[in-house]
């Protein structure tokens, strides 16, 4: 397995976990999720929520991300919030000692060396941290697609790692991500409402 394929494979695992295992995505997200293939996610996510509610009501415990009880993707909690915690509240340490902004960004390091923040022997590179923070926390003026999105109050501009993986841009979330975020409030209401 080549470095890039390994990177995509590891990002694939993280993405599938985030979707609660709803989709099996291999070797790159865009190649599998073509336009028109994601619309079934809305009812599928709602069905998963209904199942989790049944488990909860029968005394069981079933955590389904992103439908956690305190999900930030509901109730306009992210209104006027942009970006993510990469390099501010999150850091990831790789087995070889490299440091990056989060575990998902770490999987993209072979394709985007600019995501390297330092290593455990030499410490953090202040300029690299500042640059990543400016990307991770950039506001809507940099996120043109997000400015008109109906899910903007339940989203913070997309996952930096998913944006990079799909568009090579920190500020351009892929359509499937936006559609997924749009489906969360209804499914959350099924589970917790």
Average confidence score pLDDT of the chain: 77
pLDDT over threshold 90, residue 9? no
Residue 18: inside a domain, yes or no? no
Give helix then strand counts, H and E, for the chain.
8, 4
Residue whose C-alpha is closest to residue 53's, from 73, 67, 42? 67
Tell me the C-alpha distance between 161 and 129, whole Å: 16
Query: Span 77-104, mean pLDDT?
Result: 86
Beta strands in 5-113 (DSSP E): 92-93, 98-100
pLDDT digits 0-9 by tens, 126-182: 999 999 999 988 887 888 888 888 888 888 888 889 889 888 999 898 888 888 888
pLDDT over threshold 80, residue 42? no
Do 91 and 177 fall within a single domain? no
pLDDT digits 0-9 by tens, 52-85: 898 899 998 888 878 888 887 788 877 776 778 8
Do 90 and 67 fall within a single domain? no
Do 116 and 160 fall within a single domain? no
Residue whose C-alpha is closest to residue 170's, from 84, 73, 90? 84
pLDDT over threshold 90, residue 125? yes
Do 52 and 88 fall within a single domain? no
Between 40 and 30, the higher pLDDT residue: 40
Do 76 and 153 fall within a single domain? yes
Residue 29: inside a domain, yes or no? no
The pLDDT value given to residue 83:
75
Residue 10: inside a domain, yes or no? no
Tell me the C-alpha distance between 55 and 87, whole Å: 36
DSSP at 118:
E
Do 147 and 187 fall within a single domain? yes
Do 66 and 158 fall within a single domain? yes
Residue 17: inside a domain, yes or no? no
pLDDT over threshold 90, residue 119? yes
Do 75 and 159 fall within a single domain? yes
- Percentage of residues in the chain with pLDDT exceeding 90? 24
Tell me the C-alpha distance between 69 and 99, whole Å: 31
Give the total number of structural domains in the chain: 2
- Percentage of residues in the chain with pLDDT exceeding 70? 77
**Residue 21: HSE in the Cβ half-sphere, 13 Å Cα cutoff:** 4
Q: Which helix (H) or strand (E) holds 116?
A: strand 116-119
Do 88 and 77 fall within a single domain? no
State which residues form the domain around 92.
84-137
Do 64 and 147 fall within a single domain? yes
Tell me the C-alpha distance between 24 and 129, whole Å: 33
CB within 8 A of 59, min separation 6: which ones? none
Residue 22: inside a domain, yes or no? no
Do 148 and 69 fall within a single domain? yes
Tell me the C-alpha distance between 41 and 184, whole Å: 10
Residue 100: inside a domain, yes or no? yes
């Amino acid at each position: 397995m080549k470095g890039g394929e390994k990177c995509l494979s590891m990002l694939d695992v993280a993405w599938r976990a985030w979707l609660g295992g709803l989709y099996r995505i291999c070797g790159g997200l865009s190649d599998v999720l073509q336009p028109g293939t994601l619309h079934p996610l809305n009812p599928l996510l709602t069905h998963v929520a209904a199942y989790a509610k049944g488990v909860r009501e029968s005394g069981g415990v079933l955590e389904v991300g992103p439908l956690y009880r305190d999900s930030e993707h509901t109730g306009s909690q992210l209104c006027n919030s942009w970006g993510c915690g990469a390099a501010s509240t999150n850091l990831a340490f790789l087995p070889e000692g490299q440091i990056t902004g989060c575990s998902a960004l770490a999987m993209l390091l072979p394709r985007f060396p600019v995501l390297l923040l330092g290593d455990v022997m030499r410490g953090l590179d202040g300029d690299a941290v500042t640059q990543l923070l400016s990307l991770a926390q950039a506001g809507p003026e940099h996120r043109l697609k997000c400015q008109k999105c109906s899910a903007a109050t339940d989203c913070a501009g997309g996952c930096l790692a998913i944006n990079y993986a799909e568009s090579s841009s920190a500020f351009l979330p892929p359509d499937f991500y936006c559609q997924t975020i749009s489906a969360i409030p209804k499914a959350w209401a099924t589970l917790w409402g």
